[in-house]
Structure 1
Amino acid sequence: MKDIKGKTALITGGGTGIGLQLALQLAAEGANVIVSSTNQERLSAGAKQIRDASPNVKVLDILCDVSSRPSVKNLKSEITKAGLQVDILVCNAGVTTSGDYHLHRAQDWDWVYGVVLNGTHYCIQEFYPDMVQRGYGHLVINGSQAGMVPNWVTLHGPYTSAKAAVHALGAAMRPEAAQHGVGVTTVIIAGTQTEIMQSERSRPDRFGEPLKIEVARRAARRVPASDVAAQILVGIKEDKGWVATHPDLKERTKQYFDEILAAYDH
């Protein structure tokens, strides 16, 4: 989608981190932006930052828990009431837990899958059909290097497997969506300066108490969220099927897929 000016972008998890930085960059290009998240204070602060930087575009901030289908439907309703339509959907909201597989409880899996996987397809189900009907639009599905190479980072089982699933969703949708004039970009994100490790602060009560397991923080090179957002913006403009934010991880990815390909030789 080369012409972004005047289009409207919805970014889930848009109050902080990559989502906020992408919202700032899209607004700077002349796009109206809608940011959503589960925390009003952080969401309002992010929206103010966007409005201050780009006063000539429309900016909406709408509370939404993407793990709840009714909440996503309400998000759609509020956007329609505001007289806007979603031309660019960025499925960015994400949470994670830390700890061994066997120590995760049912509600931990339900929460992470609810946000990362269900939240993605709930939003697609609400907004993609309208894009098909109009004959244009763009979907961005934010994945993870952890989902691309699942044995690379351990102790994030629900997150890793959910991200692997959204990669498959993006890849499967792209050729179909192209027939309707809709682009699909799947983003493989690695170490970034975000607040995802503080995910438990956003955990809804219905998913129970946070998972409390002490896990040593893994040393990693973390790039600024604005750098990742800039790569996503290019992906939207150039209709890239994949965006990989950390080129230095190419060899590790190749190693993983070579192991799979070797199985076909036996």
Structure 2
Amino acid sequence: MKDLKGKTALITGGGTGIGLALALQLAEQGTNIIISSTSKDRLNAGANKIREAYPNVKVLDIVCDVSDRAAVKNLKSEITKDELQVDILVCNSGVTTSGPFHEHREEDWDWIYGVVLHGTTYCIQEFYPDMVARKSGHIVISGSQAGMVPNWVTLHGPYTSAKAAVHALGAALRPEAAAYGVGVTTVVIAGTQTEIMMSERSRPERFGEPLKVEVSTRAARRIPAEDVGRQILEGIREDRGWVATHPDLKDRTKQFFDEILKAYDH
């Protein structure tokens, strides 16, 4: 999608971090912006930042818990009321927990899968059919290096497996969507300066109390969210199937897939 001016982008998890960084960069191109998340305060702050920097684009901020199918349907209704259509869908909402597999409770799995996997599928189910009908649009799916190489980072079992699933979703959807003029980009994100480790503040009450497990902080090189946003923007413009934010992890990724390929030799 070369010409972004006048288009409308919906970015879930758009109040902070990568979502907000990308929203600002798209707004700079003249794209109307809709950001959503579970926090009204963070959404309002993010939306005001976009409005102040780019007063000529339309900006909406709508509270939505993407793990709730009804809430996503309501998000679609609110956007339609404002006479907007979603040309660019960025499935960016993400949360995680920390702790061993066996210490995760049912509600922890339900919450992470609800946001990371089901939230992505609910948004695609609502907005992709309209893109097919118009024969235009672009979908961005935020994945993770942890999902690409699941044995690389431990103690995030639900998140890692859910991200692996959205990679498969993006890869499977891309060739089908291309037949309707719709692009699909899956982003393999590694260490980034975001607030994802504060995810528990966003846990809805229906998923119970936060998981409380003492886990040592893992040292990692974290790049600015703006750097990831720029790579995603380029991926949209160039209709790239994959965007990988950390080139230095290519060898580790190859090692993982080489281990799988060896199985075909036996």
Please classify the TM superposition score into its range, dividing by the shorter chain length.
over 0.9
Task: Encode CA deviations 1:17-50: one digit per residue, 9 max, x unaligned.
Answer: 0000000000000000000000000000000000
- The equivalent of 2:211 in structure 1 is 211
- The equivalent of 2:51 in structure 1 is 51
The CA deviation at 1:235 is 0.1
**Structure 2: any 5+ residue segments left out of the alignment?**
none
- The equivalent of 2:240 in structure 1 is 240
1:264 aligns with 2:257: no
Give the SS at the match of 1:193: coil
In structure 2, what residue type is equivalent to 1:14?
G
In structure 1, what residue type is equivalent to 2:109?
W
- The equivalent of 1:121 in structure 2 is 121
**Structure 1: any 5+ residue segments left out of the alignment?**
none
The TM-score normalised by the length of structure 2 is 1.00
Matches of 1:172 and 1:41, distance apart in 2: 36
Matches of 1:173 and 1:135, distance apart in 2: 15
Task: Encode CA deviations 1:131-176: one digit per residue, 9 max, x unaligned.
Answer: 0000000000000000000000000000000000000000000000
Q: In percent, how many aligned pairs have the same letter?
A: 80
When the two chains are superposed, the root-mean-square deviation of aligned CA atoms in Å is 0.2
The TM-score normalised by the length of structure 1 is 1.00
- Name segments (4+ residues, structure 1) moved above 2 Å: none
- The equivalent of 2:24 in structure 1 is 24
The CA deviation at 1:52 is 0.5
- The equivalent of 1:77 in structure 2 is 77
**Number of equivalent positions:** 266
In structure 1, what residue type is equivalent to 2:253?
T
Give the SS at the match of 1:94: coil
Matches of 1:247 and 1:51, distance apart in 2: 33
- The equivalent of 1:14 in structure 2 is 14
In structure 1, what residue type is equivalent to 2:205?
D
In structure 2, what residue type is equivalent to 1:158?
P
Task: Encode CA deviations 1:72-121: one digit per residue, 9 max, x unaligned.
Answer: 00000000000100000000000000000000000000000000000000
- The equivalent of 1:164 in structure 2 is 164
Give the SS at the match of 2:10: strand
In structure 2, what residue type is equivalent to 1:197?
M
Give the SS at the match of 1:61: strand
